[in-house]
Amino acid sequence: MSFRLFLYEVITGRRHGLGAAGMRWALRVLSVGYAFAVQVWCVAYERRLLPERALGKPVVSVGNITWGGVGKTPFVEWLARYFLEQNVRPAILTRGYMPSAGRGGSFSPGSDEALMLKKRFPGVPVRTGRDRRKSAQQLLSQHDVDVFILDDGFQQRGVRRDLNIVLVDATDPFGNGFLLPRGSLREPLSSLRRADVFVLTKTDQVTGRLDILKDRLKAWNPAAVFVETVHQPVSFSCLGMAQPGMALSAIKGQSVCLVSGIGDPRSFEKTVGGLGAVIQDTKFFPDHHHFSAGEVESVARSCQEQGIGVIIMTAKDAVKWTEDVQCLASNLKVLVLNMEIKITKGKDDLCARLRTLHCR
């Protein structure tokens, strides 16, 4: 088990024992120092001691107040499709995780969001980098851009944004309530006052708690617009094969192994199980995990030993998974579950806010 996965289990309370309890106490002490640093950072921007710089075009920020598993990338995809349908030319700025540029500015396998976005939207410029302002200037010098979509941008206070969208996972909105590293909160809940739009994700997975969550968010920010969404499976595609999407019913009754390196693997498991698959095994890795050749071989071998014929993974993981697994077992099929975010409530209010951006 990697240290990142071990730490995740300690923070979420899934790891028990005296050692885990001692580590949680130490992490709570560290979170006090982190909270102080974040407070100083927030005050510096609020009092304009640190500047917010414009990017030269309207900016829509998509972010969250916790780490991992909220659904930012599917929502960025929804925004990109919306702007393209309106004949508005978007560009996407993303921080990326463990990115490195090779020749020609190509992305390393570690930058999973950028790779997936480029694959889904080949005509939309995508730039990965810590310095979003520099990335924006590079894109403007090379492309015609009407609007920037700032992926994972809520904490990018140095960028002036025209619309601040914050995603909140309805199934686990604020984790255990602690700031990093003891919990999953990146900032105190008071920072939610900066949001213009709250997008509630996975709303179909909660019963009777949505109004309570909305009331809590309204207490921090009564002026924000609310949008409700669900993550909707669309189709399967076979890894490495240029063929039309397979129907969701194709896996019904089949024994499968799930492989993922995402923030919320349990939600992925629930979705696949709901499609009628028999989940015989799961291989869950830390968020943004880059699969080594040895790990690919180990998963394939494990499936062979158990008589499993199908591996299912997310689109974000598929861009980092070597297709050589097909050579290890001719009867082992690797399927990618294609998901889209669907707005079930508040779409008109969101679109009205987007139309005020004056992108042309």
Q: In this predicted structure, what is the pLDDT of residue 107?
A: 40
Q: In this predicted structure, what is the pLDDT of residue 138?
A: 95
Q: Same domain for 175 and 280? A: no
Q: In this predicted structure, what is the pLDDT of residue 1?
A: 54
Give 192-237 pLDDT, tens digit per residue.
999 999 999 999 989 888 999 999 999 999 999 999 999 999 999 9
Taking every pair of C-alpha atoms in the chain, what is the biggest distance, in angstroms? Answer: 62
Neighbours of 316 (CB within 10 A): 22
Position 177 in a domain: yes
* Residue 269, domain CATH: 3.40.50
Please state, in angstroms and rounded to a whole number, the distance separating the CA atoms of residues 300 and 238: 16
Position 54 in a domain: no
Flag residues of the chain having pLDDT under 50.
98-110, 327
Position 52 in a domain: no
Q: Same domain for 113 and 205? A: yes
Q: In this predicted structure, what is the pLDDT of residue 245?
A: 74
Q: Beta strands 333-345 and 225-238: pairing type?
A: antiparallel
Q: Same domain for 93 and 195? A: yes
Residue spans of alpha helices (H) in the chain: 3-12, 18-46, 72-85, 112-120, 132-142, 210-220, 265-274, 293-306, 315-318, 325-328, 347-355
Q: Same domain for 84 and 178? A: yes
Position 29 in a domain: yes
Sheet of 126-128, strand order = 126-128, 90-94, 147-151, 59-64, 163-169, 197-201, 225-238, 333-345, 310-314, 255-260, 278-284
Q: In this predicted structure, what is the pLDDT of residue 267?
A: 85
Exposed (0-12), middle (13-18) or buried (19+): which is 182, by Cβ within 10 Å?
A: buried
Exposed (0-12), middle (13-18) or buried (19+): which is 142, by Cβ within 10 Å?
A: exposed
Position 124 in a domain: yes
Position 326 in a domain: yes
Q: In this predicted structure, what is the pLDDT of residue 213?
A: 97
Please state, in angstroms and rounded to a whole number, the distance separating the CA atoms of residues 171 and 210: 9
| Total structural domains within the chain | 3
Question: 3-state DSSP call for residue 94?
Answer: strand
Q: Same domain for 116 and 162? A: yes
Q: Same domain for 177 and 267? A: no
Q: Same domain for 96 and 147? A: yes
* Residue 207, domain CATH: 3.40.50.300
Q: Same domain for 115 and 129? A: yes
Question: 3-state DSSP call for residue 187?
Answer: coil
**Which residue segment(s) compose the domain that 272 sits in?**
233-338
Q: Same domain for 225 and 81? A: yes
Q: Same domain for 81 and 195? A: yes
Position 123 in a domain: yes
Q: Same domain for 188 and 258? A: no
Q: In this predicted structure, what is the pLDDT of residue 52?
A: 95
Name the packing angle between helices 18-46 and 3-12 (round to 10°).
Answer: 90
Please state, in angstroms and rounded to a whole number, the distance separating the CA atoms of residues 118 and 104: 14
Q: Is the peptide bond before 173 cis (omega within 30 degrees of 0)?
A: no
Beta carbons of 139 and 91 less than 8 angstroms apart = yes
Give 335-357 pLDDT, tens digit per residue.
999 999 999 999 999 999 999 99
Q: Beta strands 59-64 and 147-151: pairing type?
A: parallel
Residue 234 phi, psi (nearest 5): -110, -50
Neighbours of 217 (CB within 10 A): 20
Q: Same domain for 276 and 135? A: no
Position 253 in a domain: yes
Name the packing angle between helices 347-355 and 72-85 (round to 10°).
Answer: 60
Chain centroid, CA 286 distance in Å: 13
